[in-house]
């Protein structure tokens, strides 16, 4: 072609059947072979999630509305169904969840912890309150203390993991 696109091809052999193999093509030639395989693994789990939602949880066909809001709500409901089933599966049946979406969550997807992401959200909220409402430091401290006191215990513990003891 006129403008060839540089790419890297990574071949992986099937451990169960050494005659089978997969080839992955990646247009980011700076990535290592290991990184290409790791990214594909994350993407495959997402594909399994959507396949489960479509075929087992009525993501397609259940909602006949043309309203954007209704379609968005339907998708949220289907994803909530998945999460509830995944939690049930994980707690009562197996260490893994439906579609094994969360099987390697800690190793593969833990880019940021829950408590760290909650802390980032809280910092952004406090900065916005101080900027928009022009709160003094004392008012912001009082607001933060009142707000955190209203949170469930598990969220307070996530905000201040060092105080758990």
pLDDT at 164: 55
Statement: residue 83 has pLDDT above 80: yes
Which secondary-structure segment (H or E) carries 16?
Answer: none
Q: What is the pLDDT of residue 7?
A: 92
Band of residue 109 on the pLDDT scale cut at 50, 70, 90: very low
Averaged confidence pLDDT in the chain: 81
For 7-16, 68-77, 112-121, which range has the lowest pLDDT when averaged over its residues? 112-121
pLDDT at 106: 46
DSSP 56-68: HS-TTTS-----H
Contact 53, 62 (CB under 8 A): no
Give the span between the Cα atoms of 74 and 70, in whole angstroms. 6
Which of 10-19, 74-83, 84-93, 109-118 shows the highest mean pLDDT?
74-83
pLDDT digits (tens, 9 = 90+) for 40-58: 888 888 888 888 888 888 8
Confidence check: pLDDT of 132 > 50: yes
Q: Give the pLDDT score at 112.
A: 63
**DSSP string for residues in 55-116:** HHS-TTTS-----HHHHHHHHHHHHHHHHHHHHHHHHHT-SS-GGGTTTTIIIII-SS-HHH
Q: What is the pLDDT of residue 30?
A: 93
**Confidence bin at 89 (pLDDT 50/70/90):** confident
Q: Is the pLDDT of residue 147 over 80?
A: yes
């Amino acid at each position: 072609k006129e403008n060839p696109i540089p790419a890297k091809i990574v071949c992986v052999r099937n451990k169960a059947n050494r005659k089978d193999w997969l080839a992955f093509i990646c247009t980011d030639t700076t990535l290592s072979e290991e990184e290409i395989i790791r990214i594909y693994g994350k993407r495959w789990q997402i594909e399994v999630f959507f396949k489960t939602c479509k075929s087992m949880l009525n993501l397609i066909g259940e909602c006949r509305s043309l309203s954007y809001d209704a379609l968005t709500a339907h998708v949220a409901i289907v994803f909530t169904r998945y999460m509830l089933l995944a939690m049930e599966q994980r707690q009562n049946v197996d260490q893994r969840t439906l579609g094994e979406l969360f099987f390697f969550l800690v190793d593969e997807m833990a880019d940021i912890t829950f408590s760290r992401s909650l802390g980032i959200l809280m910092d952004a909220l406090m900065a916005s309150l101080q900027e928009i409402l022009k709160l003094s430091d004392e008012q912001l401290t009082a607001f933060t203390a009142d707000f955190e006191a209203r949170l469930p215990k598990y969220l307070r513990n996530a905000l201040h993991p060092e105080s758990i003891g």
